[in-house]
Amino acid sequence: MAHPHERRSGGGLDRREFLLRSLGAAVALPSASAILAACAKPGEGGTGSAGAVGTGGVDLGGPYPIPTADSPVTWTIYDDVPPIADGLKVEEGATLQIYNWDQYIWKKQVEKFCEKHGADYKITTFQNMDEALTKIRTGELKFDIFFPTSDTFGKLISSKLLQPLNHSYIPHLEENVWPQLVNPYYDQGSLYSVPYAVYTTGIAYRRNVISDEQIYGMSNPYDILWDPAHKGRSGVYDSYRDTMSMSLLHLGNENVNTDKQEDIDAVEADLLDLIDKVDVRYSINGAYKLLPENQYDVHLSWSGDIAAGWFYVSKDTAYEDLGYWFPEDRRGMIGNDTMAIPTNAEHPVLAHEFLNFMLSFPAAMDNFAWVGYQPPQNEAQPSTLTTTESVWGEPYIWPWMEAAVVRKEDFERGLPQWELTPDVDDMWHDAWQNFRAGAK
Amino acid sequence: MSAPTTTRTPGRAPTRPGTPPERARQSWFRDPWRKPRVLETITWAYLAWSLLPVMLAIFMSFSSGRSNSTFQSPLTLQYWVGTGFEGDDQSLFRDPDLRSAIRQTFTLSFATMALAVPLGVAFAIGLDRWRGRPAKGANFLMLMSFVVPEIILGVTALYVVLYLFKFIPLGTPAQIMALVTFQMSYPVIIVRARLLSIGKEYEEAAMDLGAPPKQSITRVLLPLLMPAILASFAIVFADTIDDFVTVAYLSGAAESQTLSMKIYTQTRGAPTPAVNAAATFMLISTTFVIALGYLAYRRLSRGQSDAGVGGLASQV
Amino acid sequence: MRSSDALEPTKSERRRAEREAANETGVWYPKGYWKRFATPGTLWMVLFFVVPFYVIVSVAFGTVDPVFRSPLPVYQPWWWSFDAAAEAVGKIFGPFRQSYIRTFVFVVLASSMCLVLGYAVAYYVSRFGGRRRTLFLVLLISPFWISYLMRMLAWRSLLTNDGYVNDFLSFMHLPAVGWLEGEPVTVVLGLVYGYIPYMILPLYGFLDRIDSALLEAGRDLGASPSQTFWKVTLPLSKPAIAAALVIVSLPMFGDYYTNNMLSNSPRTVMIGNILDDAVNTSGQGPEAAVFTLVLMTMLLIPMLYYLRSTARELARR
């Protein structure tokens, strides 16, 4: 059976193609001549204008336009990366290759899907987006489904690492998903992605140590992470955007996508202060696992993490001990993850079917019950999520952490995190590196 | 220092036969031939500190609860072959991730062993007899690879595979390449030590009897080296099973994750006793291989001066 | 014997005839024979050990892809750019100075503890092991085939807040300690636990081989056991101690997983962590390469020292 894209040999071609455009030299040579090639110095030469990658957005002079809530972007569909044709049959005997965060999808759902299509599956995990982008960039690994965050599309599309979706395979997208996420600012028309889960970023806390009244009564609740009373028991995510944005909000700066050096310097100082005051530690599982296990009293948290925390409670923790704070005016960090299909996927038809499956109401809600992250399903009324029983017989979100429920309106008031241009990104990364090294 | 005193100490330790009477009257502390109780206690305490946590970790793999820090009775095999906690199949032999990790661990070990030992043995024989600067250089390189911290090896191998030798894909091929590079030093060291103790007499005898060089090697030298070669196989195999840094840096997709990587990520994430089961399984495999290698070594070096554990230990 | 099927004399047979004619005796092999043995290994080492270092240098002095910030190595020395390298080295003396110093402190502390404890154990087993020597040796060698990760996993499970160490402490009416909450003590003890076998075995090997005549001579001249130890055994052990210290401390400098498994806090960050982070962060490839080169340079002298002392040791035997 002909491959729907009838394409070239695998992976590295994307990067090679990209470099070809920049260098105008035959970099796609065997590596021996790569050493000897005395052509243009690598990295120089134009990369094409930002407009060639997408229309709309904010052009900050970088290689791709920046999608913002006010300036949405419609990404280009390249001629050499077309979507698959309509009406193709699902690949037989395939192994669905999924590249995802750790513990971010319920395997039972994947199994259910695979049974239906006579396929097998394999999930490779990554610890953070940087690592994922690095591995995808090499083009050597052929994943079928990838879960990029919504702020990586500039990089991915400009390097042609994702293929455009053929919506004829994904009817559930328009039927089931919140309208503003069917046509999100970072990917108008959902050309390359479909939404996976929505979440807010707030603070998870142990309600037996910090009462609801205490934290909701504070003038600057982010301060609780800096409170020396919780020395050694306070944590942040090992994720530069989330933690640094939280620090920006802590300092009263709502521009969580700032490109100003002064802002970043203030954040760096603030975070180093965090080390001094509370011996902060960072983790990626602090909110959903370590806090319920009584290793932290307070931790930066995505709403889905703490919602799933009850799986991991230690013997001296009750479900009611887990709490979540988010600004009451809902002006906090909000975001969503997406699902996309890499260009070099070996089973694109199966991948499309998988996306459709995960967007169906039963699959999405069951997955929600296990992962804790809310899917933007129209049928799931947010006000009922604390009372409706999931497949476990418990509410999707516990009533005492109602702040973790995400509503459509939150996207209007909340502060999403946009993509940063490469040099601004460097600025953020440098500050983050200094924090991680405990630098003085 | 003062001469030995002759004070009588009540309840003193009994004298040894043949001990001069004056010594018998000294306190235990002053007796030059006293039993080294302090050192002995330290040694046993060290051994307990060293091994008890591991035994506890092995024990924990049979726990019924989800936590791997507090044991919950009854003893169960649910994390080994069973359905894990609450039936989500998170056991060592059922979880597809862990099974693929087991497969990958052994694939890497066999492949590395198959490549590194022949290369290393040939290298050792060559280095031992080859004189001159290039030989010293090669020897130096090999020893450097042994002594350099593994993170440096991992990072350099990763960069060479990503940016220069792009025909080596990330994952199993790259992992094998990097592993062989530094595992090669084990056979070299072991075989060279053995060559030193063998000396040239046997080959000379064979030559005098008319053997051509090739046969002198295959029929005289190699059989003499067999104990060292087998020991190398065992050591390289066991060391590769346990390797972490190199395989982590050069891993690609899920299939190329080994048990050690799984243990690392899960310990930092949400470990269940299945991780302990995985670690115990690795331990059993390496113990088995080492025991095999040691027995073969013993058998083949019977009657020679450096047979036995002491001999093996003093060569490393 | 002869490869008698050939009608023509083989090369080796011809040489043999030559030598017989010239009345030479002794073991002989054709010229360059041994080189052939060593060639595959040498080739492998050059390709996969030496060349990667050149790649690292090329990455360190190279540039970065404009979109993904992934490293673009520059192999031609005339295009090397030293800005990134200067910046990275500046960072070592700037924001990362504390981590580098901390690593040194950790390594010195851990190595010293390894030395004191390891020497005691090695001394006991080599001198007083007696019949149980084999048992001791097996127990001492066993950590080598118990994976490092398993040993850290074992400790991590023990040190959690609801783990057995804290249970024991509360049993003794002592306050529980947050061992895994970013404590430098935990990391140092973890390093000791992990690397002490590298100290014990070489020391044992050395102490085992000390000529007992020397010790007996000391005794005969009237020295007490402790005098014999301080004046004979210890001075003799100096080279072995130096070599063992090097072989214990070298891996500690590149260690990042001990900190990640036992602490994971900015208060215990080591050089290995900084390097590991830089490799995994986009845009910091050249920096990571520079850190690698700096680490190599730092460790070069101890490594060379160790190699020379092993070579001397091998030559002596």
pLDDT at A229: 92
Of C143, C242, C158, which Cα lies nearest the Cα of C192?
C143
Per-residue pLDDT averaged across C287-304, rounded? 92
Number of B/C CB contacts below 8 angstroms equals 299
Per-residue pLDDT averaged across A317-325, rounded? 91
CB pair distance less than 8 Å for B69 and C152: no
Which domain range does residue C131 map to?
96-316
CB C73 within 8 A of CB C62: yes
**pLDDT digit string (tens) for C74-93?**
888 888 989 888 988 998 89
Per-residue pLDDT averaged across B201-223, rounded? 81
Name the region of B105 (left: φ>0; alpha: ψ -120 to 50; beta: rest): alpha
User: Is the minimum CB–CB distance between A280 and chain C shorter than 8 Å?
Assistant: yes
Q: What is the C-alpha to C-alpha distance for residues B147 and C248, in angstroms, rounded to an integer?
A: 10
A97's CB contacts (< 8 A; 6+ apart) are A121, A122, A124, A141, A142, A143, A144, A145, A345, A346, A347, B253, B254
pLDDT at A303: 93
User: Is the minimum CB–CB distance between B69 and chain C shorter than 8 Å?
Assistant: yes
Per-residue pLDDT averaged across A245-263, rounded? 93
Q: Are residues C140 and C30 in the same domain?
A: no
Q: Which residue has the higher pLDDT, A381 or A30?
A: A381
Coil, strand, or helix at residue A120?
strand
Q: Are residues C68 and C138 in the same domain?
A: no
pLDDT at C65: 81
Looking up residue C105, the CATH number of its domain turns out to be: 1.10.3720.10
Interface list for C 253-272 with A (CB within 8 A): 263-267, 269
- Residue burial B194-207, b: 16+ Cβ < 10 Å; e: rest: bbeebeeeebbebb
Name the percent of chain B lying above pLDDT 90. Answer: 31
- State how many domains chain C has: 2
pLDDT at A23: 39
Cis link prior to B213 (omega < 30° from 0)?
no
pLDDT at A30: 38
Q: Are residues C16 and C125 in the same domain?
A: no
In a domain, C144, yes or no: yes
pLDDT at A297: 92
Beta-carbon neighbour count of residue C294 at 10 Å?
18
In a domain, C308, yes or no: yes
pLDDT at A11: 35
pLDDT at C218: 79
Interface residues of B toward A, Cβ cutoff 8 Å, are 66-67, 70, 88, 96-97, 100, 162, 164-167, 169-171, 252-255, 257, 265, 268-270
Beta-carbon neighbour count of residue A231 at 10 Å?
14
pLDDT at B120: 92
Q: Which of A66-75, A76-85, B13-22, C296-305 has the lowest mean pLDDT?
A: B13-22
User: Is the minimum CB–CB distance between B205 and chain C shorter than 8 Å?
Assistant: no
**pLDDT digit string (tens) for B54-95?**
999 999 888 887 777 888 878 888 888 877 666 566 788 888
In a domain, C150, yes or no: yes
CB pair distance less than 8 Å for B244 and C148: yes
Q: Provide the β-strand partners of residue A282.
A: A236
| Report for A409-423, C5-19, C207-221: range of highest mean pLDDT | A409-423
Tell me the chain A residues in contact with residue B96 when contact means C-beta distances shorter than 8 Å: 122
For chain C, the average pLDDT equals 85
CB pair distance less than 8 Å for A439 and C96: yes
CB pair distance less than 8 Å for A42 and C274: no
C-alpha angle with apex A110: A109 to A114, nearest 5 degrees? 120
Name the pairing type of β-strands A95-101 and A145-146.
Answer: parallel
- A29 pLDDT more than 50: no
Tell me the chain C residues in contact with residue B134 when contact means C-beta distances shorter than 8 Å: 35, 42
How high is the ipTM of this complex?
0.84
User: Is the minimum CB–CB distance between C273 and chain A shorter than 8 Å?
Assistant: yes
Identify the CATH class of B96-315.
Answer: mainly alpha
Interface list for B 126-155 with C (CB within 8 A): 126-130, 134-135, 138, 140-145, 147-152, 155
Tell me the chain B residues in contact with residue A102 when contact means C-beta distances shorter than 8 Å: 265, 269
CB pair distance less than 8 Å for B164 and A122: no
Measured between CA atoms, how close is C59 to chain B, in angstroms? 8
Interface list for C 24-83 with B (CB within 8 A): 26-30, 33-42, 44-46, 48-53, 55-56, 58-59, 71-73
In a domain, C75, yes or no: yes
Interface residues of A toward B, Cβ cutoff 8 Å, are 12, 30-31, 34-35, 97, 102-103, 107, 122-125, 127, 135, 138, 140-141, 143, 283-285, 289, 293, 312, 314-315
pLDDT at C54: 93
Question: Which band of pLDDT confidence, cut at 50, 70 and 90, is reported for residue B2?
Answer: very low
Chains contacting chain C through 3 or more C-beta pairs under 8 A? A, B
Q: Are residues C172 and C28 in the same domain?
A: no
CB pair distance less than 8 Å for B160 and C303: no
CB pair distance less than 8 Å for B166 and A103: no
Q: Are residues C125 and C156 in the same domain?
A: yes
Q: Please name the residue of chain A whose CA is at the shortest distance from the CA of residue C99.
A: A437
pLDDT at B18: 52
pTM (predicted TM-score): 0.81
For chain B, the average pLDDT equals 81
Tell me the chain B residues in contact with residue C294 when contact means C-beta distances shorter than 8 Å: none
Whether the CA torsion A285, A290, A291, A295 is positive or negative: it is negative
Q: Are residues C196 and C255 in the same domain?
A: yes
Of A104, A102, A97, which Cα lies nearest the Cα of A121?
A97
pLDDT at B14: 53
- C134 pLDDT more than 70: yes
- A262 pLDDT more than 80: yes
CB pair distance less than 8 Å for C67 and A159: yes
C-alpha angle with apex A304: A284 to A232, nearest 5 degrees? 40
**pLDDT digit string (tens) for A14-28?**
343 333 333 333 333
In a domain, C6, yes or no: no
Q: Are residues C192 and C125 in the same domain?
A: yes
pLDDT at C307: 82
CB pair distance less than 8 Å for B69 and C34: no
pLDDT at A439: 66
Q: Which of A236-250, B98-112, B139-153, B258-272 has the lowest mean pLDDT?
A: B258-272
Interface list for B 74-113 with C (CB within 8 A): none
Q: Which of A86-95, A214-223, B193-202, C199-208 has the lowest mean pLDDT?
A: B193-202
Q: Please name the residue of chain A whose CA is at the shortest distance from the CA of residue B266.
A: A102
Name the percent of chain C lying above pLDDT 70. Answer: 90
User: Is the minimum CB–CB distance between B36 and chain C shorter than 8 Å?
Assistant: yes
Per-residue pLDDT averaged across B95-114, rounded? 91
Measured between CA atoms, how close is A286 to chain B, in angstroms? 9
CB pair distance less than 8 Å for A281 and C69: no
Q: What is the C-alpha to C-alpha distance for residues B79 and B89, in angstroms, rounded to an integer?
A: 8
Q: Are residues C121 and C20 in the same domain?
A: no
In a domain, C299, yes or no: yes
Tokens of B11: 């309840």
pLDDT at A440: 56
Q: Are residues C102 and C244 in the same domain?
A: yes
Q: Please name the residue of chain A whose CA is at the shortest distance from the CA of residue C51.
A: A35
Question: Which band of pLDDT confidence, cut at 50, 70 and 90, is reported for residue C226?
Answer: confident
Measured between CA atoms, how close is A236 to chain B, in angstroms? 15
Question: Which band of pLDDT confidence, cut at 50, 70 and 90, is reported for residue A6?
Answer: very low
Tokens of C160: 């959690």
pLDDT at B3: 45
Q: Which of A126-130, A272-276, A316-320, B261-265 has the lowest mean pLDDT?
A: A126-130
User: Is the minimum CB–CB distance between A429 and chain C shorter than 8 Å?
Assistant: yes
- B35 pLDDT more than 80: no
**pLDDT digit string (tens) for A43-90?**
544 445 666 788 888 887 778 888 988 899 999 999 888 899 998 998
In a domain, C46, yes or no: yes
Per-residue pLDDT averaged across A397-425, rounded? 89
- C122 pLDDT more than 50: yes
CB pair distance less than 8 Å for C42 and B144: no
CB B214 within 8 A of CB B251: no
**pLDDT digit string (tens) for A219-252?**
999 999 999 999 888 999 988 899 999 999 999 9
Q: Are residues C203 and C172 in the same domain?
A: yes
pLDDT at A203: 95
In a domain, C190, yes or no: yes
Best interface-test mutation with A: which of C48, C55, C67 has the largest number of A CBs within 10 A? Answer: C67
Interface list for A 233-252 with C (CB within 8 A): 233
C317's CB contacts (< 8 A; 6+ apart) are B196
**Which of residues C64, C89, C114 is at a domain's end?**
C89
CB pair distance less than 8 Å for A315 and B70: yes
Of the candidates A41, A64, A158, the beta carbon closest to that of C74 is on A41
Name the pairing type of β-strands A234-237 and A298-302.
Answer: parallel
Q: Which residue has the higher pLDDT, A378 or B128?
A: A378
CB pair distance less than 8 Å for B171 and A140: yes
First to last CA, chain B: 40
Of A60, A67, A82, which Cα lies nearest the Cα of A348?
A82
Q: Are residues C85 and C212 in the same domain?
A: no
Coil, strand, or helix at residue A317?
coil
Best interface-test mutation with A: which of C61, C181, C280 has the largest number of A CBs within 10 A? Answer: C181
